Structure 1
Amino acid sequence: MLSNTNSIKLIIRANQKCAPVLSKIQIWGLPAHSLDTVDRELVKSIWNEITNPYDPLERQRIAEEVGQRSPSRCVPELNKESTLQIPEEFLDAITWELMRLLQKVAMNLINGIRLYIEKMCSESGPGMKNMLLDRETTSIISMAFSQSDMLQREVYLFERLDSGRSNERMKYLKCIVFIRPTKQNIQLLANELRSPKYGSYYIYFSNIIPRTDIKFLAECDESESVREVKEFYADYLSVNPNLFSLNIPKSMQRLNWLPEALTRSVQGIIGVLLTLRLNPVIRYRAGSSVAQNLAKQIFEQITKDSTLFEFRQQENGAAPPLLLLLDRRDDPVTPLLHQWTYQAMVHELLTIRNNRLDLSNIQGIPNDFKELVLSGEQDEFYSKNMYANFGEIGSTIKSLMEEFQRKAKDHKKVESIADMKNFIESYPQFKKMSGTVQKHLCIMGELSNLTSKRNLFEVSELEQEIACKAEHSAQLQRIKKIIADERIAINDAVKLVVLYALRYERHANCDTSGLLQIIKMRSDQAHIIPSLIEYAGTHVRQGEVFSLVRITDAVKLTRNLIKGLKGVENVFTQHTPLLKETLEDIFKGRELDPLYPAINSELVPFRRPPQEVVVFIIGGTTYEEALAVHQLNNNGYRVILGGTTIHNSQSFIDEALAATEGLQFKHTKSMIKYYATSENF
Structure 2
Amino acid sequence: MNVIGAVKAYVTKMTAESDPGMKILLMDKETTSIISMVYGQSEIQQREVFLLERIDSAGHTNGNSGLRYLKCLVFLRPSPQNIDLLSKELRNPRYGAYYIYFSNIVAKADVKVLAENDEQEVVKEVQELYMDYLAVNPHLFSIGLPTCMRSLSWQASALQRTVQGLIAVLLSLKKCPVIRYQKNSKPCRELSTKVEELMNKESSLFAFGQSNHPLLLILDRRDDPVTPLLNQWTYQAMVHELLTIHNNRVNLSKIPGVSKDLAEVVLSAEQDSFYAKNIFLNFGEIGQNIKELMEHFQAKAKSHQKVESIADMKAFVETYPQFKKLSGNVSKHVTVVGELSSMVNKYCLLDVSEIEQEITSQTDHSSQLQSIRKLLNNTSVRDTDAVKLVMLYALKYQNHSSNDTAGLIKALKRRGVSDYLILSVSNILEYAGSHARQNDLFSVGDAVKITKRFFKGLSGVENVYTQHKPVLYETLEELLKGRLKEELYPYLSNHQINGRPQDVIVFMVGGTTYEESLVVHTFNKNYPGTHIVLGGTTVHNSSSFLEEIDQAMKDVTRRYTRNITPVRFD
TM-score scaled by structure 1?
A: 0.80
What is the aligned partner in structure 2 of residue 179 from structure 1? 76
1:159 to 53, 56, 63: 53
Whether the 8 Å CA contact 1:527–1:676 is kept in 2: the answer is no
Residue 239 (structure 2) pairs with residue 346 (structure 1): yes
Task: Provide Cα deviations, 1:257-279, integer angstroms capped at 9, x if missing partner.
Answer: 00010000000000000001111
What residue identity is the alignment partner of 2:363? A
Secondary structure of the 1:297 match is helix
The residue that corresponds to 1:393 in the other structure is: 286
Given the alignment, which residue of 207, 225, 236 partners 2:104?
207
Other-structure match for 1:611 = 502
SS of the residue corresponding to residue 307 of structure 1 reads coil
Quick check: 1:616–1:642 contact (8 Å CA) kept in 2? yes
> Quick one: distance in 1 between partners of 2:124 and 2:71?
10
AA aligned opposite 1:626: S
C-alpha offsets along residues 446-481 of structure 1, whole Å, 9 cap, x if unaligned? 001100010000000110000111111110111111
* Cα pair 1:404 1:433 within 8 Å, conserved: yes
How far off is 1:427 after superposition?
A: 2.1
Aligned residue for 2:127, secondary structure, equals: strand
Task: Confirm or deny: 8 A CA contact 2:450 2:467 kept in the other structure.
Answer: no
Amino acid at match of 1:610: P
Q: Give the match's secondary structure for 1:526.
A: helix
Q: Which residue of 2 aligns with 1:224?
A: 121
Length, aligned pairs only: 561
Higher mean displacement: 133-142 or 166-175? 166-175
Question: Which residue among 287, 294, 299 is the counterpart of 2:184?
Answer: 287
Q: For the structure 1 residues 119 and 555, does the alpha-carbon distance in structure 2 shift closer, same or farther, using more than 3 Å as the test?
A: closer
- The answer to whether residue 523 in structure 2 is matched with residue 632 in structure 1 is yes
1:120 aligns with 2:20: no
1:383 to 257, 272, 276: 276
CA 1:186 to 1:455, structure 2 compared with 1: closer, same or farther past 3 Å? same
Percent identity over the alignment is 52
Post-superposition offset of 1:124: 1.1
Aligned twin of 2:93: 196
Q: TM-score, normalised by structure 2?
A: 0.95
* Gap change, CA 1:591 and 1:391, over 3 Å in 2: closer
Report the CA distance shift for 1:665/1:191 in structure 2 as closer, same or farther (over 3 A). same
Q: Flag the 1:630–1:574 CA change in 2: closer, same or farther, 3 A.
A: same
CA distance in 1, matches of 2:318, 2:509: 50
Shift of 1:313: 3.3
Give the CA RMSD over aligned residues.
1.7
2:370 is the counterpart of 1:477:
yes
2:422 partner SS: coil
- Tell me whether 324-333 or 415-424 shows the greater mean CA deviation: 415-424
Gap regions ≥5 residues in structure 1: 1-106
The separation in 1 between residues aligned to 2:231 and 2:451, in whole angstroms, is 20
Distance across 2 between alignment mates of 1:478 and 1:159: 54
Which has the greater radius of gyration?
A: 1
Counterpart CA distance in 1 for 2:144 and 2:540 is: 10
Over residues 539-589 of structure 1, what are the superposed CA-to-partner deviations in whole Å (9 max), with x where a residue is unaligned? 00101122415777785968x972475x75xx4221111111111111111
Please state whether the residue corresponding to 2:410 is helix, strand or coil.
helix
Inter-partner Cα distance in structure 2 for 1:112 and 1:160 = 23
Q: How does 1:135-534 map to 2 (within 5 A)?
A: 135-164=29-58, 165=60, 166-169=62-65, 170-314=67-211, 318=212, 320-522=213-415, 523-524=417-418, 525-534=421-430
State how far apart, in whole Å, the 2-side matches of 1:428 and 1:622 are.
35
Instruction: Sort the Cα spacing of 1:459 and 1:417 in 2 relative to 1 into closer, same or farther, 3 A.
Output: same
- State which drifts further: 543-552 or 197-206: 543-552
How far, CA to CA, are the matches of 2:322 and 2:9 in structure 1?
27
Q: 1:108 to 1:417 in 2, by over 3 A?
A: same
Q: Secondary structure at the match of 2:205?
A: helix
CA shift for structure 1 position 511: 0.7
Q: Show the counterpart of 2:481.
A: 588
| Matching residue's letter, 2:567 | Y
CA distance change for structure 1 residues 556 and 353 in 2, over 3 Å: closer, same or farther? closer
Partner deviation per Cα, 1:141-187 (whole Å, 9 max, x = no partner): 01111111111111111111112113311101101110001111111
Deviation at 1:675, TM superposition (A): 5.3
- Structure 1 residues 159 and 473, CA, compared in 2 at 3 Å: closer, same or farther? same
1:45-88 C-alpha deviation (Å, 9 max, x unpaired): xxxxxxxxxxxxxxxxxxxxxxxxxxxxxxxxxxxxxxxxxxxx
- Measured in 1, the distance between the counterparts of 2:355 and 2:71 equals 59
Q: What corresponds to 1:35 in structure 2?
A: none
Specify whether residues 401 and 160 from structure 1 end up closer, same or farther in structure 2 by C-alpha distance, changes over 3 A only: same
Q: Deviations over 1:85-110 (max 9, x none)?
A: xxxxxxxxxxxxxxxxxxxxxx0111
User: How much does 1:662 deviate?
Assistant: 1.9
Q: Distance in 2 between matches of 1:303 and 1:547?
A: 40
Distance 1:128 1:194 in 2: 23
Read off the aligned partner of 1:489 and give its amino acid letter: R
Distance 1:193 1:573 in 2: 56
Structure having greater relative contact order (Cα 8 Å, sep ≥ 6): 2
Structure 1 letter corresponding to 2:547: D
Question: Is 1:574 the counterpart of 2:470 in the alignment?
Answer: no
